[in-house]
Amino acid sequence: MKRTKMWGAGEMKLGVHRRKHSGLWSAIHAILPVLIVNSVLAVDTTLSELDLSTIRQGWGKAQADKSVQEKPLTIAGEVFEKGLGTHASSIMYIELDGKAEAFRAKAGVDDEIGASPASIVFKAIVDGRTLFDSGVMKAGDKARPVDVSLKGAKMLILFAGDAGDGINFDHADWAAAVIVMADGKPRAVAAPKEDAVILTPKPGPAPRINGPKVYGCRPGNPFLYRVPTTGARPMKFSATGLPAGLVLDAVTGIVTGTAPARGEYKVTFRAENGHGKSEREFRIIGGDKLALTPTMGWNDWYAHYNRITDPMMREAADIMVSSGMADVGYQYVDIDDCWEAKRGPDGNIIPNQKFPDMRDMTAYIHAKGLKAGIYSSPGPRTCAGYTGSYKYEAQDAKQIADWGFDLLKHDWCSYGEVAGGRDLTALQKPYRLMGDLLKQQKRDIVLNLCQYGMGDVWKWGAEVGGHSWRTGGDLGFELHRIFQIALRNCEIGQFNKPGEWNDPDYIQIGYIGSAHGMGHPRPCGLTPNEQYSFMSLWCLMASPLFYSGDMTKLDEFALNVLCNPEAIEVNQDPLGKCARVACKTNDTFVLVKEMEDGSKAVGLCNQGEFETEVVANWTDIGVSGKQRVRDLWRQKDLGEFTDRFSANVPRHGVALVRMAGR
């Protein structure tokens, strides 16, 4: 709908009624009856005429003159012919060139959601100032009129955000929305693009030993540990305190041998090259527990799905070393689903042709000082429809050990058909069975449960033999929810401890395939800040750190996010604590993780759409006096702070710092 008013002619064109200026108009008309000005004034552009493909929103697609689900725009029974149907969090940038007069609309939650618990905040932000804020609007609330002056403004941002309880059901309508413009046309433009800024300095040539400070192994089993060390090669490695039976290769820094008897062994690793020396204390704990710090590695799933092959696994192991990932602690190279063919006459599982020699493949991975992981499902079929372990559990456990694998991810798919119920005993049975079987093998095999959190698995995953357990569904389907997932995981953070890890699924930055339809790897779609946030949150939660993108397409930015040893140190801290939420507003929250040395790792998180100041008050984070604060992404000391530390955190960003008293 356009409304055009011609000054001087005394006529309204296009059959449009006079607006507020009519008094003024009559006066001018009376004084200057013959004046004719030929310019066009006050054109109303409906919002739905603009390019809606520029809108960024949390669910579905923005619709012109329809709700997000393509029904008539309806707010509290009032039906609107024109307007924009969108979904929180929704953001639209409109350039005005300083020529607009006003934005008018009626904002509200669309009736199409029925009585569902929506809650939306609508905002109109003009050149950085919020000139309209609807407050929390719920389903059934009458449409709220918006009338905002745009005089002289360059940019209007229309924002419909969730009101602190997630975006579910937040169908947001900007109904009857028009921009009144004296001259020209408003233009919807894409949200400003973030630059992929590399924050972390490259590791220097001098050695720096990274990785965990504590390591669990079962007495008598094969032992393998590559001392993760950045710095120029060649490098000379040495150790004091290594228990008998273990040998450190001075050139590769790989420790091999037989795990020592039950007990704690204090070891010091040293690395030296022409540029300097590094030393690191390391405790080896012989006993029942494995994975005393969160497991770190790579899993092929979100990159390669059913395309995975033996050469691709070997290549991933090569890249884990050549890219420097192994030098900061990445260790496991895991094949996920889709390697299985069928059972042979003896019942043993036979891999498909893409995996001609599993034992040779794990030997290849081990020779690099890395470990190998594999996948199965307790049901008759895996999630991708391949042969599962049902009724062949003992054979599979033995086969996995014989092949030389060091980790098993055990899914749930198709087990529901044979579980005989969903009570706790039924949920636990397949994992208890596999957990016991793996313990009987003469290898240390880490067990990762993948049953999406059913039956509050965090309460019993360790008891049935698991070392980590997925806390939810596949993150590949809900990558935009990393902040909410982190908040949810922190609520069950007390179940996170050495050898027992909540697993919110893999890190998906860089190039990843589409979880919808097993698509080929493409840039992940997360902004640079979201990628930093992903890693920061996973480090603060002490989650297993498995990269699951395409190793062959790792670029400098992705590696800088994945490989910051100071961020990883937060993840690998021996206390194994998950961060707690120290304080929270609608858009921001502060996470605090207790570290073994008494320092705190703090994440100042902004899940909102705009850069904002996030404050960490000492009272909230449980410190007092002067605190030395270090920016972990930039590896830079920020100085001493008293009472509080604050940072301007970008959209969907996290400022990750570590602080310690004097």
| Residue among 545 and 590 whose Cβ is closer to ligand GLA | 545
Which span (36-44, 53-61, 156-164, 376-384) binds ligand GLA, by CB under 6 A? Answer: 376-384
Contact criterion met (CB below 8 Å) for 567 and 603: no
Binding map of ligand GLA across residues 244-273, x = CB under 6 A, - = no contact? ------------------------------
Q: How far apart are CA 654 and CA 611, in angstroms?
A: 11
| Residue among 382 and 588 whose Cβ is closer to ligand GLA | 382
Q: Which residues have CB under 8 Å from 278's CB, separation 6+?
A: 206, 207, 208, 209, 229, 231, 270, 271, 272
Smallest gap from residue 382 Cβ to ligand GLA (A): 6
Smallest gap from residue 343 Cβ to ligand GLA (A): 19
| Residue among 106 and 409 whose Cβ is closer to ligand GLA | 409
Task: Scan for tokens 């579905």, then name that residue.
Answer: 60
| Residue among 337 and 573 whose Cβ is closer to ligand GLA | 337
> In the sheet where 246-248 sits, what is the strand order?
222-226, 254-258, 246-248
* Catalytic (active site) residue 411: yes
Single-letter residue type at 44 = D
Per annotation, catalytic residue among 97, 318, 474, 620? 474
Does the footprint of ligand GLA cover residue 336 (CB under 6 A)?
yes
Smallest gap from residue 476 Cβ to ligand GLA (A): 8
Which span (236-244, 258-266, 375-383, 558-566) binds ligand GLA, by CB under 6 A? Answer: 375-383
Q: Which residues have CB under 8 Å from 603's CB, separation 6+?
A: 536, 537, 540, 579, 590, 591, 592, 593, 654, 655, 656
Smallest gap from residue 649 Cβ to ligand GLA (A): 30
Does the footprint of ligand GLA cover residue 478 (CB under 6 A)?
no
Contact criterion met (CB below 8 Å) for 334 and 295: no
Which span (119-127, 251-259, 351-359, 382-390) binds ligand GLA, by CB under 6 A? Answer: 382-390
Smallest gap from residue 501 Cβ to ligand GLA (A): 15
| Residue among 92 and 335 whose Cβ is closer to ligand GLA | 335
Does the footprint of ligand GLA cover residue 337 (CB under 6 A)?
yes
* Catalytic (active site) residue 288: no
Residues 291, 292, 293, 294: is their CA dihedral positive or negative? positive
> In the sheet where 446-449 sits, what is the strand order?
501-503, 468-470, 446-449, 407-410, 371-376, 332-334, 296-299, 545-547
Which stretches does DSSP call E strand in 165-219? 171-181, 187-189, 208-209, 214-217
| Residue among 412 and 633 whose Cβ is closer to ligand GLA | 412
Q: How far apart are CA 267 and CA 243, in angstroms?
A: 8
Q: How far apart are CA 532 and CA 561, in angstroms?
A: 6
Does the footprint of ligand GLA cover residue 408 (CB under 6 A)?
no
Task: Find residue 95's DSSP bridge partners.
Answer: 155, 187
Per annotation, catalytic residue among 334, 396, 411, 444? 411
Binding map of ligand GLA across residues 521-560, x = CB under 6 A, - = no contact? ----------------------------------------
Binder among 113, 143, 214, 450 for ligand GLA (CB under 6 A): 450
Contact criterion met (CB below 8 Å) for 177 and 103: yes
Contact criterion met (CB below 8 Å) for 186 and 178: no
Does the footprint of ligand GLA cover residue 431 (CB under 6 A)?
no
Binder among 48, 134, 376, 382 for ligand GLA (CB under 6 A): 382
Q: What's the 3-state SS for 552-604? A: HHCCHHHHHHHCCHHHHHHHCCCCCCCCEEEEECCCEEEEEEECCCCCEEEEE
Binding map of ligand GLA across residues 287-316, x = CB under 6 A, - = no contact? --------------x---------------
Smallest gap from residue 515 Cβ to ligand GLA (A): 8
| Residue among 468 and 606 whose Cβ is closer to ligand GLA | 468
Main-chain dihedrals φ then ψ at residue 78, nearest 5 degrees: -85, 125
Which span (313-321, 379-387, 435-443, 560-568) binds ligand GLA, by CB under 6 A? Answer: 379-387
| Residue among 334 and 500 whose Cβ is closer to ligand GLA | 334
Q: How many amino acids of this chain bind ligand GLA (CB under 6 A)?
A: 10
Residues 289, 292, 297, 301: is their CA dihedral positive or negative? positive
Which span (175-183, 230-238, 381-389, 453-461) binds ligand GLA, by CB under 6 A? Answer: 381-389
Sequential DSSP letters for 430-491 = HHHHHHHHHHHSSS--EEEE-STTTT-GGGTTTTTT-SEEE-SS-GGG-GGGHHHHHHHHHH
Smallest gap from residue 306 Cβ to ligand GLA (A): 9
For the record, the structure tokens of 628 come out as 């030395």
Binder among 191, 384, 575, 581 for ligand GLA (CB under 6 A): 384
Residues that bind ligand GLA (CB under 6 A): 301, 336-337, 375, 382-384, 411, 450, 474
**Among all residues, which ones are annotated catalytic?**
411, 474
